[in-house]
């Protein structure tokens, strides 16, 4: 819904796969801090010395010595750091259902680390974005050790997220905003920081107990080794064969010498997955589409969103693979620390996980996650430990770490053949190709969609039917624009990209991030990007809204190169009430979106029979920014052929605004000729032309008057 500009490239946005979102607070159980008992000192044993000469033998009276027991001593209890609490098993877990329980954490995690010796790090941004909260959870001892990492102030508008690693018993945190690795001591209160000596670090992957492989700007392939002193030593990995690619990222470790990597070409914008052999420095590509690769029991697993198939590769023979159809309404969960394939079913009112054996294709077990009616659930970050499965469940915006005590025997059914599905993937591919060939618009869906953009992260939506419906809405909107109009828009950018995704998650504490966003647009490096949550209702109106943002931005591009002075919405504020000012912020101090304002000036509470001339705005959200005011009006008039136009649009003020909007588009775009009747003009007063506005609304006088105020 908002327009943003960001300094980072889209590739950084796409590479930060694990960042999803920021959420609200939750209730934590009553916990009791352990009081450390003082150890009981043992009584010293008597010291007996022998005389230098033997005394004469004398017979002592026979008496029985009283039996005495050696004093018992209690072993001292282990001293735990002050920031550690211990739970009984009943306090540690809350049962959610048969085999499923929730770990009672003091935070809502959306970031997890690898499991090492039964321990896992979980973390989340603080609500005020002043730092990062994380906890070391001992799954066996039922202890939780908490810590905080403060974000230092920077002048640059950057995403302040973190990733977590357990490395040889140490907690390691990477600050993506400063490209800094922080190594904590056992108390989690002090750390040693090592700044990565590269321009920009995108991701880091733990490839052994003491080594991280990094992804950075440039053609280097960097890594870092953790030393005994808690600092990292950085070095470049050998790289002898790049096959035309110039950026590299490690996904997972196949064995000590072979790593699963993705490769990116900044020249052709192409991704490829392959196997990197450290001893030779060579990368052997084996397929395209670098974002959806998984490692399971040494086998490479991917999902092709175009065909809805799961592919299982043997790294030793990358040309050979097993192809299996994806069950309906499920998607493959990518987890490089799991021993099984996990398919999750996210959705409203229901969610479940199915476990498969990658070697046999047999379904081992399945569990349902309780979801209240009307709430939506997502499952991710799946790992295995001690025969159980741990994952993050996000239900209704509340994230929890869950344990699934799986039935080891399972039912032995061949899971991949249980369900049949209508194959929409081929039809979807045809629509994607058609939109590119006819309009020049590039659409990304499923796991190919970008995961992080300025201020937001997104979850993928892989349901082919939902994707199909969203593609049809895009096609429908484009078909209702004037001939050549979309082509003129696209020509102003190096690319116009659309991502059809699932839930959009805002950056916590950023009042320019909308906590209930269903779509947004942004431009960077000549690429115009629009992102849509395709699970929303009324997406056709949202499409029109976001494309109005794009049209307005495009008009400014055109004005920059135009030999004549364009109108460019310069008179817009002249149609607002006297002394009205936009908020120029999206959320209030509590983080709630400004989406209504009961001041009588907007149409949100307007009813038939009331005076439409009192209405100036569609709703309170229109009063945040002039760009949102424009887009709210456009979505109504552009879709009036499909949805009834609200009655207050007959009012004088709304007619002026809508007509002026249309006149500005006519002024800027050469594809809107004199003979063209735009769909968004069909309900407007034809007398309100641009000439009318220029003759009756003196911009210079209005600006001079407001300058005095």
Please give the full DSSP string across 564-624, using - where no structure is assigned. S---TTTTGGGGSPTT------SB-TTS-B-----SSSBGGG--TTS-GGG--BSSGGGGT
pLDDT band at 353 (very low <50, low <70, confident <90, very high): confident
Own/partner pairs, 176-182, CB within 8 angstroms, 24+ separation: 176/16, 176/19, 176/201, 177/151, 178/152, 178/154, 181/212, 181/224, 181/232, 182/149
Burial class (CB in 10 A: 0-12, 13-18, 19+), 30: exposed
Helices first, then strands: H and E counts in the chain: 10, 39
pLDDT at position 16 is 38
End-to-end CA distance of the chain: 31
Rounded distance, CA 531 to CA 159, Å?
18
pLDDT band at 156 (very low <50, low <70, confident <90, very high): low
Which residue is listed with tokens 């995690």?
Answer: 109
Length reported for the chain:
709
Of 1-5, 131-135, 148-152, 447-451, highest mean pLDDT: 131-135
- Tell me the CA distances in angstroms from 680 to 112, 308, 530, 563, 655, one per residue in order: 48, 38, 21, 27, 12
Q: Helix 539-561 crosses helix 464-479 at what angle (to 10 degrees)?
A: 50
Rounded distance, CA 269 to CA 11, Å?
9
Higher pLDDT, 61 or 650: 650
The DSSP bridge pattern shows strands 143-150 and 84-86 to be antiparallel
**Residue 526 pLDDT exceeds 80:** yes
Under 8 Å CB-to-CB from 663, ≥6 apart: which residues? Answer: 567, 688, 689, 690, 693
Enter the tokens of residue 6: 């960001």
In whole numbers, what is the pLDDT of the chain averaged over residues?
79
Enter the tokens of residue 58: 């004398």
Enter the tokens of residue 573: 């504020």
Enter the tokens of residue 413: 């059914």
pLDDT at position 343 is 84
**Residue 291 pLDDT exceeds 70:** no
**Residue 131 pLDDT exceeds 80:** yes
For residue range 56-114, what is the model confidence (pLDDT) as tens digits? 444 544 545 455 555 565 655 667 777 899 999 999 999 988 889 999 999 999 889 88
pLDDT band at 282 (very low <50, low <70, confident <90, very high): confident
Which of 138-152, 191-205, 260-274, 390-404 is the least confident region? 260-274
Of 65-79, 330-344, 427-441, 509-523, highest mean pLDDT: 427-441
Which of 263-267, 392-396, 701-705 is the least confident region? 263-267
Rounded distance, CA 414 to CA 705, Å?
77
Under 8 Å CB-to-CB from 113, ≥6 apart: which residues? Answer: 120, 121, 122, 163, 164, 165, 166
Contact 92, 143 (CB under 8 A): no
Rounded distance, CA 260 to CA 315, Å?
9
Rounded distance, CA 195 to CA 185, Å?
18
pLDDT at position 75 is 54
pLDDT at position 362 is 66
Of 46-50, 579-583, 637-641, highest mean pLDDT: 637-641
pLDDT at position 455 is 66
Paired with 236 in beta bridges are 222
Average pLDDT, stretch 496-516?
75
- Tell me the CA distances in angstroms from 280 to 238, 259, 271, one per residue in order: 7, 12, 22
pLDDT at position 539 is 93
3-state SS class at 561: helix
Contact 474, 443 (CB under 8 A): yes
The DSSP output letter for 548 is H
- Tell me the CA distances in angstroms from 5 to 153, 499, 524, 622, one per residue in order: 20, 17, 6, 20
Which residue is listed with tokens 């050696």?
Answer: 70
pLDDT at position 410 is 42
pLDDT at position 62 is 52
Count of C-beta atoms within a 10 Å radius of residue 482: 17
Determine what percent of the chain is predicted with pLDDT higher than 70. 77
Enter the tokens of residue 582: 């936009």
E strand spans, 3-125:
3-5, 84-86, 93-97, 100-103, 111-112, 119-125
Alpha-carbon 534 to chain mean position: 16
pLDDT at position 126 is 84
pLDDT at position 27 is 29
Is the whole model's pTM more than 0.85, yes or no?
no
Q: State the Cα angle at 431 between 454 and 679, rounded to 5°.
A: 80
Alpha-carbon 709 to chain mean position: 45
Using CA atoms in the order 316, 320, 326, 331, what is the torsion angle rounded to 10 degrees? 30
Paired with 643 in beta bridges are none
3-state SS class at 513: coil
Higher pLDDT, 525 or 625: 625
Contact 481, 550 (CB under 8 A): no
């Amino acid at each position: 819904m908002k327009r943003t500009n960001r300094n980072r490239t889209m590739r950084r946005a796409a590479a930060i796969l694990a960042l999803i979102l920021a959420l609200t607070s939750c209730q934590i159980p009553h916990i009791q801090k352990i009081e450390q008992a003082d150890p009981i000192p043992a009584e010293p044993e008597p010291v007996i010395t022998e005389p230098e000469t033997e005394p004469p033998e004398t017979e002592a009276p026979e008496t029985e010595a009283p039996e005495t027991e050696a004093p018992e001593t209690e072993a001292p209890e282990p001293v735990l750091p002050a920031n550690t609490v211990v739970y009984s098993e009943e306090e540690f877990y809350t049962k959610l259902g048969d085999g499923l329980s929730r770990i009672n954490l003091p935070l809502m995690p959306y970031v997890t680390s690898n499991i090492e010796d039964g321990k896992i790090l979980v973390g989340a941004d603080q609500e005020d974005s002043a730092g990062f909260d994380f906890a070391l959870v001992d799954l066996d001892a039922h202890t939780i050790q908490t810590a905080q990492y403060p974000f230092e102030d920077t002048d640059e508008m950057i995403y302040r997220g973190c990733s977590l690693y357990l490395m040889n018993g140490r907690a390691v945190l990477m600050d993506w905003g400063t490209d800094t690795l922080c190594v904590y001591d056992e108390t989690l209160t002090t750390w040693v920081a090592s700044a990565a000596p590269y321009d920009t670090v995108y991701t880091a992957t733990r490839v052994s107990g003491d080594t991280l492989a990094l992804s950075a700007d440039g053609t280097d392939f960097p890594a870092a080794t953790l030393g005994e002193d808690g600092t990292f030593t950085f070095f470049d990995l050998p790289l002898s064969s790049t096959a035309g690619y110039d950026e590299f990222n490690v996904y997972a470790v196949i064995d000590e010498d072979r790593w699963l990597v993705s490769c990116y070409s900044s020249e052709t914008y192409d991704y490829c997955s392959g196997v990197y052999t450290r001893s030779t420095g060579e990368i052997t590509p084996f397929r395209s589409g670098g974002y959806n690769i998984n490692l399971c029991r040494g086998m490479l697993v991917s999902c092709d969103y175009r065909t809805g198939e799961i592919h299982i590769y043997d790294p030793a023979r990358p040309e050979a693979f097993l192809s299996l159809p994806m069950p309906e309404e499920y998607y493959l969960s990518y987890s490089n620390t799991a021993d099984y394939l996990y398919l999750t079913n996210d959705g409203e009112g229901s969610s479940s996980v199915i476990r498969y054996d990658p070697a046999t294709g047999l379904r081992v077990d399945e569990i349902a996650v309780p979801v209240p009616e009307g709430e939506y659930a997502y499952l991710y970050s799946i790992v295995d430990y001690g025969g159980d499965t741990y994952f993050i469940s996000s239900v209704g915006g509340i994230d929890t770490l869950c344990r699934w005590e799986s039935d080891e025997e399972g039912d032995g059914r061949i899971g991949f053949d249980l369900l049949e599905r209508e194959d929409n993937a081929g039809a979807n591919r045809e629509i994607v190709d058609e939109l590119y060939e006819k309009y020049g618009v590039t659409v990304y869906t499923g796991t190919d969609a970008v995961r992080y953009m300025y201020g937001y992260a997104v979850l993928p939506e892989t349901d082919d039917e939902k994707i199909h419906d969203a593609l049809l809405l895009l096609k429908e909107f484009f078909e209702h624009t004037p001939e050549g109009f979309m082509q003129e828009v696209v020509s102003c950018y190096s690319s116009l990209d659309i991502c059809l995704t699932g839930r959009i998650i805002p950056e916590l504490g950023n009042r320019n991030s909308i906590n209930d966003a269903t779509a947004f647009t942004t431009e960077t490096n000549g690429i115009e990007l629009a992102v849509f949550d395709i699970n929303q209702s009324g997406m056709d109106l949202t499409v029109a809204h976001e494309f109005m943002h794009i049209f307005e931005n495009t008009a400014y591009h055109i004005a920059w190169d135009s030999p004549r002075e364009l109108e460019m919405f310069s008179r817009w504020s002249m149609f607002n009430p006297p002394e009205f000012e936009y908020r120029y912020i999206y959320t209030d101090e509590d983080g709630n979106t400004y989406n209504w304002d009961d001041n009588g000036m907007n149409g949100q509470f307007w009813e038939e029979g009331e005076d439409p001339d009192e209405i100036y705005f569609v709703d309170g959200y229109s009063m945040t920014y002039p760009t949102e005011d424009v887009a709210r009006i456009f979505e109504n008039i552009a879709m009036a052929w499909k949805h009834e136009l609200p009655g207050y649009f007959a009012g004088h003020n709304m007619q002026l605004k809508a007509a002026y909007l249309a006149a500005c588009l006519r002024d800027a775009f050469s594809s809107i000729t004199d003979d063209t009747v735009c769909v968004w003009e069909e309900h407007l007063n034809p007398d309100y032309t641009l000439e009318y506005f220029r003759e009756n609304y003196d911009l210079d006088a209005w600006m001079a008057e407001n300058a005095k105020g």
